[in-house]
Amino acid sequence: MSCIPCGSAAAAAKAVVAVSDTTMPSKAEVQARGLLIDLYRAKPCMPIMVRLAWHDAGTFCAKDNTGGANASIRFEPEISHGANAGLTAATQLVQTIKDKVPEIGYADLYQLASVVAVEFCGGPSIPFRLGRKDAVEKEVTPDGRLPDAKQGHEHLRDIFYRMGFVDREIVALSGAHALGRAHADRSGFDGAWTKEPLVFDNAYFKELLAKEADPSLLKLPSDLTLLDTPSMSKWVKLYAEDEQLFFRDYAAAHLKLSELGQFQ
């Protein structure tokens, strides 16, 4: 057993507190992570959880500091905005975890559910901290802040630059479409972007560049437009070649997304 020199017990205790403040997840976070993993083992709902967290955070406007990762998406009318079709199923699933770990707020839980989903599907570890402030009902964000899948790269820039992202981050974040699928009754689009939509890897970029496109796979106009401008297409190519680079960039961009409007 290591020995603490006389007189330094208080300093050692302080050091332990400092370490646990910055690096150790709280008991509640550990419990919530465990419950999320149980949920994902029983029900492969990881993609919709990633979409829920993104649609909550992606309303952020850096100019006036409104929107962001504050769980305003749980309220009407935001949850009924066209872009959020189908996401009530995800808020209901998160509620089952919230009921068991009430000390964690909704905004934290939505983002934690997404971070754990990416990790569960084999993607990168994404740094996470608790402490987001939940929005109250009157803080719902107006409709029209999320991207329109039918538009091109100038529109993507309008939307993502408003949140404070740059082209490289737009491309990295789009790689989340490695997961999940579109549903005709939600967005009007149908199909998955990759052959293994429960695996988080760089397949989205490989499929985007494939010489012979697989007709069974989906490419939204907002996916294809990443090839329309060199400042985006160069990242599509690099991420298709180098999964580690994609994972590093994705984790950094996802962390930034998950904290928009919080921790200032």
State in angstroms the smallest separation of the CB of 263 from ligand HEM: 19
Q: Which of 26, 31, 187, 229 binds ligand HEM (CB under 6 A)?
A: 187
In angstroms, the CA 92 to CA 117 distance is: 16
Q: Does 180 sit near ligand HEM (CB under 6 A)? A: yes
227, with CB counted inside 10 A (0-12, 13-18, 19+), is middle
Q: Which of 149, 198, 227, 245 binds ligand HEM (CB under 6 A)?
A: 149
Q: Does 171 sit near ligand HEM (CB under 6 A)? A: no
Site residues (CB under 6 A) for ligand HEM, limited to 63-102: 86
Catalytic residues: 55
Q: Does 240 sit near ligand HEM (CB under 6 A)? A: no
Q: What is the DSSP letter of 2?
A: -
Q: Does 51 sit near ligand HEM (CB under 6 A)? A: yes
Q: What is the DSSP letter of 179?
A: S
- Which residue's CB is nearer to ligand HEM, number 35 or number 57? 57
Give me the residue whose beta carbon is nearest to ligand HEM: 180
> Could you tell me which residues come within 8 angstroms of residue 255 by beta carbon, excluding any fewer than 6 positions away?
126, 127, 128
Q: Where are the alpha helices (DSSP H) in 125-227?
A: 153-163, 167-174, 203-209, 221-224
State in angstroms the smallest separation of the CB of 175 from ligand HEM: 8
> Could you tell me which residues come within 8 angstroms of residue 150 by beta carbon, excluding any fewer than 6 positions away?
220, 221, 222
State in angstroms the smallest separation of the CB of 59 from ligand HEM: 12
